[in-house]
Structure 1
Amino acid sequence: MRVYQSNSFRIGCKIIFEKEPCLIECSEFVKPGKGQAFVRLKLRKLLTNQLIEKTFKSTDSLEIADISEQKLSYLYNDGNFWYFINNNTFEDFSVEKKIVGLNSKWLIEQDTCIITFWNNKPILITPNIFVQLKVTDTESTSKSDTINNSTKLAKLSTGAVVKVPFFIQVGSLIKVDTRSGEYIARIK
């Protein structure tokens, strides 16, 4: 079992804490004038996305998580599983619906994404930061609407719903930020 000593805790390290894989998002080494040195961490649990703060003594250590990431291409889904392929080895993977979660609205066939594996099992899917999607439906608007609001809701080809400017029409191709779900630009 490989471990990190507390003086090696760095941002981006992946460790096992409370029997779950975690990512260190913030690390602060504190050496008070009196008493023992300690490390203050902000950890993101990779299975639940929960953020926790924890303090460790300078003598503590944590196990290194067996985490790997692969860039895979999305193929299709059958409602229960999403299927991906590694374009280099042609190895295919199936990922459960609960792991894909809300990221399913940003997955486009033949597009690549990053899948995080823990002990060779997928635990997290990270779609591309920006995706280009077609608008399939928008709210109807009148001239009086533009006085108070500058956006309307639009449904995209993957089922996602985002706020877009009034000039976006059905059939338009738009760029969306998958981290926030915000409209970025119209693609011509």
Structure 2
Amino acid sequence: MPKIDGNELRPGYVIEHKGRVWRVMKTEHVKPGKGGAFMQAELRDLFDGSKTNERFRASESLERVRLEQRPYQFLYQDGEHYAFMDTETFEQITVDGELIGEPARFLTEGMQVEIEFYEETPLGVTLPETVTLDIEHADPVVKGQTASSSYKPAVLENGVRIMVPPHVESGQRVVVKTEDGSYVEKVNA
């Protein structure tokens, strides 16, 4: 594993520290009036989700862990578990829904995702940035609503409720961000 100095720590890095694997969530360079500068870092354990704050001096050497991303295809959901197939070896794995989080509601059969691994243990699932879905039902526009800043509720084909602009109607296709379920644009057929 590559070594980095304590002052090179950045959010998103994965490090091995005190025998555990951590993702760096936040960093702040601190230069106190007395003593040497240090990097204050918020770390989250990749396996149990616990968080801690640590101080690292520039002279400290840390082990940066490389995670492996592999392409997978979503197959099906079984309760809180999701089945995926490796697109190269055709091996199947099952991942707990907690690793996917809120974006799991946008998984569709056959969708290509990326699964992040640490020594063959899946740590996270990344969906495409956006998905295109049909509007199953959209509420009618309320008279007097201004088009610029108002949104109305709509239900997507997968049952997810989102907010859409007044001009979007039932039966139309829209692009939605998988991260937070926000409306991006209407697809013109």
Scaled to the shorter chain, the TM-score interval is: 0.7 to 0.9
Question: Is it true that 1:24 corresponds to 2:19 in the alignment?
Answer: no
Deviation at 1:183, TM superposition (A): 0.5
CA offsets 1:34-74 (integer angstroms, 9 cap, x no match): 63342233545545778765421234344444632222111
Give the letter for the 1:88 counterpart: E
Structure 2 contact 130–175 (Cα < 8 Å) conserved: yes
CA distance in 1 between partners of 2:158 and 2:47 (Å) = 25
Cα distance, 1:176 vs structure 2: 0.8
Structure 1 residue identity aligned to 2:125? I
Post-superposition Cα deviations, 1:78-116, rounded to whole Å, max 9, x if no partner, equal 223211112122122111233233221121221211212
Quote the offset at 1:14 in angstroms: 1.0
Gaps of 5+ in 1: none
Contact 1:107 1:158 in 2 (8 A): no
**Pairs within 5 Å for 1:131-146:** 131-144=131-144, 146=145
Q: Between 163-172 and 35-44, report the one with greater CA deviation.
A: 35-44
Structure 2 stretches lacking a partner, 5+ long:
none
> In the alignment, residue 133 of structure 2 is paired with which amino acid?
L
Matches within 5 A, 1:121-160: 121-144=121-144, 146-147=145-146, 150-160=150-160
1:165-184 matched pairs, under 5 angstroms: 165-184=165-184
Contact 1:131 1:175 in 2 (8 A): yes
Q: Distance in 2 between matches of 1:163 and 1:34?
A: 52
1:173/1:187 contact within 8 Å kept: yes
How many residue pairs end up in the alignment? Answer: 187
Distance in 1, matches of 2:2 and 2:36, equals: 25
How far apart in 2 are the matches of 1:23 and 1:155?
Answer: 35
Q: 1:50 to 1:156 in 2, by over 3 A?
A: farther
> Normalising by the residue count of structure 2, what TM-score does the alignment of the two structures yield?
0.78
Q: After superposition, where does 1:38-187 map in structure 2 within 5 Å?
A: 38-43=38-43, 45-46=45-46, 54-65=54-65, 67-144=67-144, 146-147=145-146, 150-187=150-187
**Shift in CA distance, 152/33, structure 1 to aligned 2, threshold 3 Å:** closer
8 A contact 1:40–1:56 mirrored in 2: yes
TM-score by length of 1: 0.78
Aligned-partner Cα distance in 1 for 2:49–2:156 = 26
How far off is 1:29 after superposition?
5.5
CA 1:180/1:98 → structure 2, altered by over 3 Å: closer, same or farther? Answer: closer
Please tell me the root mean square deviation across aligned C-alpha atoms, in Å: 3.2
Give me the identity figure in percent.
Answer: 28
SS in structure 1 of the partner of residue 101 of structure 2: helix
Task: Indicate if the aligned counterparts of 2:76 and 2:83 stay in contact, CA closer than 8 A.
Answer: yes
